[in-house]
Amino acid sequence: MDVNFKRISVDEAQQLIAEHPSKVQIVDIRDDESFENGHIESAFHLHNSNLQDFIAGADPEQPLLVYCYHGHMSQGAAAFLAEQGFGETYSLDGGYEAWSELESSA
């Protein structure tokens, strides 16, 4: 099976967002409580009940960054979304935990 998404570090993700601030679509696949307690700015909270609406409304030509808690579940979600036609799809290595650690140390 071909890998149709890329795993990127927090540093790489921040660089991607900085280079394309209004274009990167950020998707958080964690549970409701975790999302409410904190998420990456402008992240869309994706779950089963809004998945089809997201796929229908998102731009498959723009970069898509998917993250979860630690970067494991997001790989499957990124692969699924890439299969749905998203061309430039990324999974955040280390997930929100790594993102928030880097943000708090900055």
At residue 104, the pLDDT reads: 78
- Domain spans of the chain? 6-105
Looking at the DSSP bridge assignments, the partners of residue 26 are 65
Residues designated as active site: 68
Question: Is the distance from CB of 90 to CB of 7 less than 8 angstroms?
Answer: yes
Q: Which CATH class is domain 6-105?
A: alpha beta
pLDDT tens for residues 11-49? 999 999 999 888 999 999 999 999 999 999 999 999 999
Q: Whole-angstrom Cα distance, residue 3 to residue 80?
A: 11
Average pLDDT, the chain: 94
Whether 78 and 66 have beta carbons less than 8 Å apart is answered as yes
Comparing C-alpha atoms, which of 106, 95, 85, 105 is closest to residue 40? 95
Length of the chain: 106
